[in-house]
Amino acid sequence: MRLFFAVDFPEELKEKIHQDITPLFKYNGVKWVAKENYHLTLAFLGEKEEKELLQIDRAAKSVPQVKESLIKVLDFGAFPNLKRPKVLFLKIESPGLLTLAENLRQNLKENNISFDEKPFVPHLTIGRVKGEIKNLALPKFNPKEFSFKNFYLIKSILTPEGPIYEKIKSYEILQNA
């Protein structure tokens, strides 16, 4: 099964984000992410065997809890850049999330659980450009924020209509006050 760790967004925030980015949907040749699928990847594990689940779960459970849980959803960004976007995203700012991702990745390494080790750039992917967008005009995005309480181990089922994400484990991230 295809697995990744991610933080989810509150439903009303997904709705507001979707509203703000609606002017972009006129661009063709982009696979826009369905709003119910908005998420923030912490680590992408890829294909794993059922028997590896226990160890993956143990590694996630022992991630130290964080003190700061504020996540700010800022402005538009793109990989490799906004002039020639291939992946369009919203930039994320969150010191707590950085700490969490670092600790989670460290735990995965220590447990020999392989994952995509590209440097962690916190982002919310909104679209994947299949062709080329010429003269991309970005609408105004009103920054948003929320406090995250959990992160999840998510199973991704790829279908022709797009991926289906299924949360299979949940982990609390906040230090008990």
Which positions touch ligand 2AM (CB under 6 A)? 4, 41, 44, 87, 116, 125, 156
What phi-psi label fits residue 26: left (phi over 0), alpha (psi between -120 and 50 degrees) or beta?
A: alpha
Cβ at position 67, least distance to ligand 2AM in Å: 26
- With 0-12 / 13-18 / 19 or more C-beta atoms within 10 angstroms meaning exposed / middle / buried, residue 134 is exposed
Our CB check for ligand 2AM shows the closer of 4 and 9 to be 4
Our CB check for ligand 2AM shows the closer of 110 and 116 to be 116
Please tell me which residue in 8, 9, 39, 66 is annotated as part of the active site: 39
d(CA 118, CA 88): 17
Cβ at position 31, least distance to ligand 2AM in Å: 11
Angle between helices 95-110 and 53-61 (to 10 degrees): 140
Cβ at position 44, least distance to ligand 2AM in Å: 3
Cβ at position 108, least distance to ligand 2AM in Å: 13
Our CB check for ligand 2AM shows the closer of 94 and 125 to be 125
Q: Which residues pair with 76 in a beta bridge?
A: 90
> Catalytic annotation on 18?
no
Our CB check for ligand 2AM shows the closer of 96 and 127 to be 127
Start-to-end Cα distance in the chain: 36
Type and span of the H or E element at 58: helix 53-61
Distance of CA 148 to the CA centre of its chain: 13
Please tell me which residue in 14, 48, 105, 123 is annotated as part of the active site: 123
Helix (H, G, I), strand (E, B) or coil at 173: coil
Looking at the annotation, which residues are catalytic? 39, 123
